[in-house]
A and B are shown apart, each in its own frame.
Chain A
């Protein structure tokens, strides 16, 4: 199990890009007692058989690391949800309009649920992988009677940072500014 939910969310979101997606939508919803995440990608999708095997920790597609026989991303999701009263679901299409949607929900009142962790760090990480892709992140929070909702788009952030041509966040300075910006959006 990952140390925080956001660590697990990072891992799961990375899968979308590794499946060749160039458009990923992430929605994180937080309330006092619950956190839920939906990651919808337009990647290559999985066959029902692949989907079944993806939850087996001792299976991997063998493309990234030939010779290795573990793949822990989705097994961690299943383990965390099942041991803390949470839930998870994966829907995938591998033909026609392909893509995968991973949804999960966690009960923050369950003592075994890991802490939520660093939300802005999670957002910054998934926005800053190499290569061209669009990512839309919506964060809705309703905690302690305070509501917060915002949406950020990778293309708009790249443009604001003068990196539209590069197509990636490259220098450490842009990463620092991006972190500052994302942190500011979460403040009251």
Chain B
């Protein structure tokens, strides 16, 4: 495959943006926040982030969801941890989110608005929360 130039990347982006119809502007407030502290990285958070990018892109939702990285949420024993912030749903921190669970979060939590009860951690550790 020929090397892509920055110009190729620009064209690809423009083509992709035309494909993604911004169906629901309110839906764009979905945020996926992946814990990328030393603990998260050690537990495979990079694979988790990659799985979210792939799953959202495959569902054509890449333009509607923001993926951000954060540090340790104090729940190192349950890494990789991921917080989902979206309208009409409680803010939820999920624990032990591997690539498979990441896909499930996209399909259930983000699309069907159903919680994945077995993975919920609810909130950061007490000593991490701001007083």
Q: How large is the interface on B (under 10, 10 to 19, 20 to 34, 35 or more residues)?
A: 35 or more
Neighbouring B residues of A76 by C-beta, 8 Å: 38
Most A CB contacts (10 A, CB to CB) among B41, B49, B54 go to: B41
| B111 at the A interface (CB under 8 A) | no
Q: Do residues A176 and B57 form an inter-chain contact, with CB atoms below 8 A?
A: yes
- Which of A46-54, A61-69, A86-94, A104-112 sits within the interface? A61-69
Neighbouring A residues of B74 by C-beta, 8 Å: 65, 68
Residue of B nearest to A188 (CB): B1
CB distance from B81 to the nearest CB of A (A): 14
Neighbouring B residues of A172 by C-beta, 8 Å: 32, 52-53, 56-57, 61-63, 65-67
Known: A7-B42, A65-B72, A65-B74. A173 touches B36 (CB 8 A): no
Neighbouring B residues of A142 by C-beta, 8 Å: none
Q: Do residues B16 and A173 form an inter-chain contact, with CB atoms below 8 A?
A: yes
- The 8 Å CB contact of A171, one of B4, B44, B66, is B66
In residues 1-24 of chain A, which contact B (Cβ within 8 Å)?
Answer: 2-3, 6-7, 10-11, 14, 18
- The 8 Å CB contact of B41, one of A10, A65, A130, A181, is A10
In residues 29-55 of chain B, which contact A (Cβ within 8 Å)?
Answer: 32, 36, 38, 41-42, 44, 46, 49-50, 52-54
CB distance from A74 to the nearest CB of B (A): 10
Q: Do residues A177 and B9 form an inter-chain contact, with CB atoms below 8 A?
A: yes
Residue of A nearest to B5 (CB): A160
Known: A125-B36, A173-B57. A185 touches B4 (CB 8 A): yes
Per-residue contact bits, chain A 114-139, to B (CB 8 Å; 1 contact, 0 not): 00001001100100111000000000
Neighbouring B residues of A159 by C-beta, 8 Å: 6
Q: Do residues B63 and A177 form an inter-chain contact, with CB atoms below 8 A?
A: no
CB distance from A61 to the nearest CB of B (A): 13
Per-residue contact bits, chain B 93-129, to A (CB 8 Å; 1 contact, 0 not): 0000000000000000000000000000000000110
- The 8 Å CB contact of B20, one of A73, A121, A125, A173, is A173
Secondary structure at chain A's binding surface: helix, strand, loop or mixed?
A: helix
Q: Do residues B38 and A66 form an inter-chain contact, with CB atoms below 8 A?
A: no
Residue of B nearest to A2 (CB): B42
CB distance from B119 to the nearest CB of A (A): 20
- The 8 Å CB contact of B50, one of A6, A121, A187, is A121
Q: Do residues B49 and A173 form an inter-chain contact, with CB atoms below 8 A?
A: no
Q: Do residues B46 and A185 form an inter-chain contact, with CB atoms below 8 A?
A: no
Known: A128-B69, A160-B10, A184-B3. A176 touches B128 (CB 8 A): no
Give me 9 A-to-B residue pairs in the complex whose CB atoms sit less than 8 angstroms apart, sorted by A's number.
A14-B36, A121-B50, A156-B6, A172-B32, A172-B65, A175-B67, A176-B62, A181-B4, A181-B9
